[in-house]
A and B are shown apart, each in its own frame.
Chain A
């Protein structure tokens, strides 16, 4: 799948430079992201909901694939850091006129962008841009194909830590379309690095990657068995837009087997939380009574997403002796 070398994410001092994947990043760095996000999470309660940290910096959202929530939370995070934000929806922009990705990149650099937030339907696109970006420019992956969605994974880790404290004793189940899910891949790497007891993936054979066990997870095909005694249930969205063939008989049948209901949730620990990266297909991945129920933390995930993105952007922003780019 994606070609990636993890050291491209760190500078020579081991500090975050690009945030492309949770894979291969040390536990200390993931924990630092969560710790810094903790301070940003307090900001919305203040009269002035922003800090001057990235004042004078330009952050460009480069979205080759449509997204409302992710782009909006990145934009809000950048604005709460006092950066200026450019939004490029490339699906309807110059690349459709034949401009290459590198030409687009050079043009945006000429507009003095300090950071690119990239979403693309090709796995490895964010790595490609990070490799070709000018030295002082940082790249944040906002989702590339089936490969990675590291800020989503980290906001999920933040949500779990908020509710459960320590990662060590936790059993976490990820349910659904693992095969097409960059979110699941990034979550699995982060959960393993942060040292949870067990990660389970639950889904039909057609939606589980063949290499699942190599990722260090336990595989279940029954939801009832898979959620037994877990502390966290993460539901994934069915990625209908990424399915090439008929991997599912029908949504109705999927819900019958893998839809999360109050009854099935009974098998999890009494204080288990239910998460979903959104947008939810109600009645497909889960019942509305679960999505809106007391164990659902889905809307908190959205709020925490802003704080986590602020943390990642402020950590990865290039610093140098001259102020701005070195």
Chain B
């Protein structure tokens, strides 16, 4: 496998996230949503969500989701040994949720995340914000807000490294057994 190459470093990523925060603010204002809550998907999604959560001044603590128990590929790859507990420190019932992930590719992680969120209750709405959106969608899932859409070959793999400093790296695609960052 070739060395991953740096695509973007911490400061530039921070600016992209600040831009996403402005788009989210505009979207919330248009819809008259004044009290959104936020959930980040482990691992990279949580790092992005932490910055967005701060920028939007959301009062309730950030929720974190580990979708390992909801993945649709368990029958192929089995249990993810790195699973962490999902923590949603608020009642999702009737709330407007901003769901945050780092990279949107196949859409399968988001499907799993939505399934998990609905096991916590019935939110009023869910909107999706991702740092990267890229080619490779396998499900009808699109971001409402995204930061970047880099031109990538199918064979290329983009990955957010962190938590501090954040780095976006592009490498020739490996097929990790537990592709936490697969999309």
Contacts and interface: CB of A to CB of B under 8 A. Distances in A.
Given A39-B84, A319-B75, A320-B76, A53 B119 contact: no
A273 B68 CA distance: 33
Given A32-B81, A38-B85, A39-B85, A51 B76 contact: no
A246 interface: no
B142 interface: no
Given A39-B69, A51-B70, A53-B69, A46 B75 contact: no
Contacts of B68: 39
What 5 A-B pairs come out closest when comparing CB atoms?
Answer: A51-B69, A323-B75, A48-B119, A319-B78, A42-B85
Contact of B78 (A46, A47, A317): A317
A321 interface: yes
A52 B73 CA distance: 11
A324 B75 contact: yes
Interface of A: 15, 32, 35-36, 38-39, 41-42, 46-48, 51-54, 314-315, 317, 319-321, 323-324
B75 A42 contact: no
A140 to B, nearest CB: 14
Contacts of A36: 79, 81, 83
Contacts of B75: 319-320, 323-324
B81 A52 contact: no
Contacts of B78: 15, 315, 317, 319
B74 A39 contact: no
B171 interface: no
Interface string B65-92: 0101110001111110101111100000
Contacts of B86: 39, 42
Contact of B115 (A52, A315, A317, A319): A52
Interface centre among B66, B68, B75 (most CB of A within 10 A): B75
Given A35-B83, A39-B68, A52-B115, 18 more contacts: A35-B81, A36-B79, A39-B84, A42-B85, A42-B87, A46-B120, A47-B121, A48-B119, A53-B74, A315-B79, A315-B81, A317-B78, A319-B74, A319-B77, A319-B78, A320-B75, A320-B76, A321-B76
